Amino acid sequence: MTAAMPGLVTVAATALAASPYGFQSPLSGRRVAFTTPFPYADRLARLLELHTAVPLHLPTVVVEPTPLTLAALRPYLTAGALDPFAALAFTSRNGITAFSLALSNAVGPRPLSDSGEAFTIAALGKDAELLHEGLLSRFCRNLNRIRVLVPEIASPAGLVESLGAGAGRRVLCPVPFVVDLEEPPVVPDFLRDLEARGWNPQRVCAYETRWKGARCMEGLVALDAALDAILFTSSAEVEGLMKGLEALGWDWGKVRRRWPEMVVCAHGPVTAKGVERFGVSVDVVSSKFSSFDGVVEALASKLR
């Protein structure tokens, strides 16, 4: 990556021949801004490059574990601490990463006993790739006790549906601690849906989501070129964008006036609903949202 101007990262497109569409990719040469935070951004940038687009990374939020959130996880990492729970439900890749980091720093016996009822660890879409044998063995020495659950629909609602009836059982939910932003309704809705299905959810703040700061939109404001699309992968990113624009004396209306043909794309219906809460009309919503492939394909189809 090379910095083109303050706050803006431009990822050079690969050779046209690398595109899944050959030389006729609908995204070829198109500038596509995206506000996805690290570490997700690299995956999305690579997919856009494969379509020979010109990705412009404009992160508006920071998502990462902190000493405070790692401390919040610590009580669930002691010997047998997970035995009272029937399941562990991850709604994001960051939750798995944070839990993995906390487990790597834990000492002593594992948090899940070798014997007992089956224990479910659930994750969405490609996030489940992180639930490899090495990580699972840190939970429990008896891997036969652990059941990995990946819902067919990669959404919090799909996760609740896949878990089924709770019958009063406890489920641990590693979720973000939101700083300088309004908490999106996704997590509260998820916890409420679990309760409606008879689960007893226990919320733990496993990582932090915070606004990147007043300069996060400098790259967009300074951009003096065509912008063909902007892609959002969470509603928190949109709030961060709005705050960044306001800090620079801009608003969304000015963005639309500068780039009236710009296509607004959302990664799945949950994100689209959150984006529209901030007064941003969405043009493209991916119907396949277990990975970023779906949203890039949807954008390509729109621009075809």
The pLDDT assigned to 13 comes to 32
Architecture label for domain 67-210: 3-Layer(aba) Sandwich (3.40)
For residue 187, pLDDT beyond 70: yes
Question: How many other CB atoms are there within 10 angstroms of residue 279's CB atom?
Answer: 11
pLDDT, tens digit (0-9, with 9 covering 90-100), for 165-175: 999 999 999 99
The pLDDT assigned to 25 comes to 80
For residue 275, pLDDT beyond 90: yes
Determine which of 10-19, 39-48, 126-135, 232-241 has the lowest per-residue pLDDT on average: 10-19
Tell me what the pLDDT averaged over the chain comes to. 91
Which stretches of 27-169 are assigned E, i.e. beta strand?
31-34, 54-57, 61-64, 85-89, 119-122, 146-149
Q: What is the mean pLDDT of residues 50-56?
A: 94
Rounded to 5 degrees, what are φ and ψ at 276?
Answer: -70, -20
The pLDDT assigned to 290 comes to 82
CA distance 72 to 83: 18
Which stretches of 100-214 are assigned E, i.e. beta strand?
119-122, 146-149, 170-179, 200-211
The pLDDT assigned to 20 comes to 52
Q: Name the segment(s) of the chain with CATH classification 3.40.50.10090.
A: 2-60+212-303, 67-210
pLDDT, tens digit (0-9, with 9 covering 90-100), for 94-148: 999 999 999 998 888 999 999 999 999 999 999 999 999 999 999 999 999 999 9
The pLDDT assigned to 107 comes to 84
CA distance 102 to 70: 6
CA distance 120 to 147: 5
In which band, very low, low, confident or very high, does the pLDDT at 39 lie, cut at 50, 70 and 90?
A: confident
- pTM, whole model, 2 decimals? 0.86
CA distance 205 to 91: 12
Please tell us whether the domain made up of 2-60+212-303 is placed in CATH 3.40.50.10090: yes
The pLDDT assigned to 105 comes to 87
DSSP state of 277: T
CA distance 264 to 65: 30
